[in-house]
Amino acid sequence: MKPHHILILPGWQNSGPGHWQSRWEASHGYRRVEQHDWMHPKRGDWIARLEEVLLGCDEPAVLVAHSLGCLHTAAWASHSKNTDRVKAALLVAPGDAEREEMRPVLPSWSPIAMQRLPFPSVLVGSRNDPYCSFERAQAFALAWGSRFVDLGEAGHINAESGLGDWPAGHAVLAELMNL
């Protein structure tokens, strides 16, 4: 699989240079799906941008989503007629936009799409994620038809989690790419 067909889908506020998504992009040549506004994400805009990028791919892509990027994946899949353009998805630390404190910040992201994804997926969750309870992450995995991986107490599974290049996560991605 060509590296530019591995699409990085960061969450709200993007992923900084120390984030495993950015490190994978730099070391493996994966491609970030850039958004017009990382600070005030609008679901419709993000869905349209992902659709545009996928329509430009000459083979099915693998999505690598973090936080709001997981909800982005589910929202796109629930609306698109081109879901065959995705081979698989790695969904890491989904954010819960329906939490009371997140609703004013991410108003266009409720309700969260809870339909089964039409492609294989793995959801990696943390027991102490400040943006999504462990039980809610498990509920997302069940609704989306994702295999669930319990990463233990890893916070939001981001740069602050101290994962570095996160080789264990990359191994899960490699499994998905070989399906």
Q: Which residue stretches of the chain are H helix? A: 20-28, 43-55, 68-79, 134-144, 167-177
Per-residue pLDDT of the chain (179 residues; tens, 9 = 90+): 788 899 999 999 999 999 999 999 999 999 999 999 999 999 999 999 999 999 999 999 999 999 999 999 999 999 999 999 999 999 999 999 999 999 999 999 999 999 999 999 999 999 999 999 999 999 999 999 999 999 999 999 999 999 999 999 999 999 999 97
Q: Report the Cα 98 to chain-centroid distance in Å.
A: 17
Q: Return the SS3 of 87.
A: strand
Task: Compute the Cα dihedral for 176, 144, 63, 81 and give only its sign.
Answer: positive
| Tokens read off for 111 | 């309700």
Looking at residue 127, its pLDDT comes to 98
Residue environment code for 33-49, b if the CB has 16+ CB neighbours within 10 A, otherwise e: bebeeeeebebeebbeb
Average pLDDT, the chain: 97
Q: Smallest Cα–Cα separation from 90: which of 3, 2, 176?
A: 176
CA distance 78 to 138: 19
**pLDDT digit string, tens, across residues 48-79:** 999 999 999 999 999 999 999 999 999 999 99
Type of residue found at 161: S
